Structure 1
Amino acid sequence: MISVENAESYFKNKIGKDSDDIRKVWERFKDSCKETVQGEEEKENLFQCGVYDFTGEELFHLDFVRQFTVYEEDKYSRMEQLHCEFLFKPTDELNMLETAERSMDFDDVDDFFNHIENLQEFKIPLTLKPIKLEIYQNEV
């Protein structure tokens, strides 16, 4: 069973060697968002993108996020986020794209995914080659 603690390694294994194919990674990300994770009380997904210099270099970040809210003994413990983040060299077109969308703003997760797939912020990067994919999990 998937747990919050092993979600990152589970997702990395699920992606496998298709890490340069954004569409395939997105499809696997969507599937994994529907899977039950032991220890997770609330499901939340995010889609965010924009040009940032988090790494010391300005890059376009296309980030699919699964957020885990964890309770221990019926008390809030922590929130963790699993990021599936593609990085690109900025272009004039990418410099104009920035958004942050949350699944909790939609009736169900499929409505959220359909909304994301119709955004220019999602469609435009699909036509480009990313520099790399970073998959990591952190506490927020």
Structure 2
Amino acid sequence: MITVMNAESYLKHKIGEDTDDIKKVWEAFKAFCKEPVEGEEDKEILFQCGVYDFTGEALFHLDFVRQFTIYEEDEYSHMEQLHCEFLFKPTDELSNLEIGEWSMDYDNIDDFLSHIENLQEFKIPLILKPIKSEIYQEAV
């Protein structure tokens, strides 16, 4: 079974080497979103994008996130997020895109994923080539 500790390596293995191929990463991420993770009570999936200067430079971020709530002995401990993040130079078209959508706002994960695939915030960057991509997990 997938655990929070091995979720990043599991997803990286599923995606393979070509992490700049957004469509390929999305398909692997989508399948991963439906797989159970040990100790997970609810699926917490986030799609977000926008122009931010987290790196010290204003870049367009496209980010697929799976969030895990960690409990130790039935007590809340912390959260971790597994990101599939793509960075782009902000064009006029990309600069107008900004959104954050959580799966918990939908009846089921399929409705959420279908909704995301129909958003312009998803469709427009999907056909572009990122300047950088990264898959990483962090405590939040």
Range of TM-score over shorter length: over 0.9
2:63: which partner in 1?
A: 63
Runs (4 or more) in structure 1 with deviation over 6 Å come to none
Structure 1 vs Structure 2: percent identity of aligned residues? Answer: 77
Superimposed CA distance per residue, residues 45-104 of structure 1 (whole angstroms, 9 cap, x where no aligned partner): 000000001001111000000001122222112111000001111100000000000000
Unpaired segments of 5 or more residues in structure 1?
none
1:119: which partner in 2?
A: 119
Which runs of structure 2 are paired with 1:99-110 in the superposition (5 Å)? 99-110=99-110
Distance, in Å, in 2 between the alignment partners of 1:107 and 1:45 is: 13
Matched pairs, number: 140
- TM-score under structure 2 length normalisation: 0.96
Asked if the contact 1:43/1:69 (under 8 Å) is kept, the reply is no
- Structure 1 SS opposite 2:43: strand
Decide whether aligned partners of structure 1 residues 67 and 83 sit closer, same or farther in structure 2, where only a CA change above 3 A counts.
same
1:72: which partner in 2?
A: 72
1:139: which partner in 2?
A: 139
Answer yes or no: is 1:5 the counterpart of 2:5: yes
Counterpart AA for 2:17: K
Counterpart AA for 1:66: R
Displacement of 1:23 after TM fit? 0.8
Unpaired segments of 5 or more residues in structure 2?
none
- TM-score under structure 1 length normalisation: 0.96
Asked if the contact 1:98/1:121 (under 8 Å) is kept, the reply is yes
Superimposed CA distance per residue, residues 21-66 of structure 1 (whole angstroms, 9 cap, x where no aligned partner): 1111101001001111113232200000000010011110000000
Displacement of 1:133 after TM fit? 1.1
Answer yes or no: is 1:35 the counterpart of 2:35: yes
Which runs of structure 2 are paired with 1:15-26 in the superposition (5 Å)? 15-26=15-26
Distance, in Å, in 1 between the alignment partners of 2:111 and 2:28 is: 17
